[in-house]
Structure 1
Amino acid sequence: MPKITYIEHGGKEHVVEVAEGLTVMEGAVKNSVPGIDADCGGACACSTCHVYVDPAWYEKLPPKEAMEEDMLDFAYQPQPTSRLTCQLKVTPALEGLVVRMPEKQI
């Protein structure tokens, strides 16, 4: 299973093995990683699973679709490397992915 590193806003790291086929959001929720609320359950209908993808990883991810772009407009302080974790399917290629949580989710 690929290991993904989730970094809380305060800097605490959580290295989690996430099964292939799940989303990065599901990996956080199933492992009780704080900072990813996932209020809509992964339907891309909110921005509460927003993260900042480590710049070294950003270009390796599939491009954002229009719905994700729209929902990121509602995220707290979106940045160029912002993504919604519900839209990132875990594959072997994501081994070592690093994401950082914003100060809060809205």
Structure 2
Amino acid sequence: MAKIIYIEHNGAHHEVEVKPGMTVMEGARDNGVPGIDADCGGACACSTCHVYVDDAWIDRLPEKDSMEEDMLDFAWNPDPVKSRLTCQIKVTEDIDGLVVHIPERQI
């Protein structure tokens, strides 16, 4: 299991154990973390699982592919460096301790 830390816009923290092979989005959805809507269910067809990756983790995650880059154009207030779609981040033991910040809202 890998611990993923979700921080809401209001500062509330949610530490969740997520099974490797799942996505960061599935970890939030399955554990009731508010602010990750995941309207498309993880198909990278919306931007409602948008987060800002904590500075310490930006260079430690796999790079965004072109499909994720395109969908981030539809996210609320995207950051060109920190924004990611949690449906596109696979959980591995290497991301144990990952910290993501949930935006004020999703579109």
TM range (shorter): over 0.9
What is the aligned partner in structure 1 of residue 4 from structure 2?
A: 4
Letter of the aligned partner of 1:10 in structure 2?
Answer: N
Equivalence map 1:1-106=2 (5 Å): 1-79=1-79, 80-106=81-107
Q: How far has the Cα of 1:29 moved from its partner?
A: 0.2
Identical amino acids, percent of aligned pairs: 70
* Alpha-carbon distance between aligned partners in 1 of 2:98 and 2:4, rounded to the nearest angstrom: 5
Unaligned runs of 5+ in 1: none
RMSD value over aligned CA atoms?
0.4
Q: How far has the Cα of 1:83 moved from its partner?
A: 0.2
Residue deviations 1:4-41 (CA, integer Å, cap 9, x gap): 00000100000000000000000000000000000000
* Alpha-carbon distance between aligned partners in 1 of 2:43 and 2:51, rounded to the nearest angstrom: 16
Letter of the aligned partner of 2:30 in structure 1?
Answer: K
Q: How far has the Cα of 1:101 moved from its partner?
A: 0.4
What is the total number of aligned residue pairs between the two structures? 106
* Alpha-carbon distance between aligned partners in 2 of 1:60 and 1:12, rounded to the nearest angstrom: 24
TM-score (normalised: structure 1)? 0.99
Residue deviations 1:81-106 (CA, integer Å, cap 9, x gap): 00000000000001000000000000
Runs of 4+ off more than 4 Å: none
* Alpha-carbon distance between aligned partners in 2 of 1:31 and 1:81, rounded to the nearest angstrom: 23
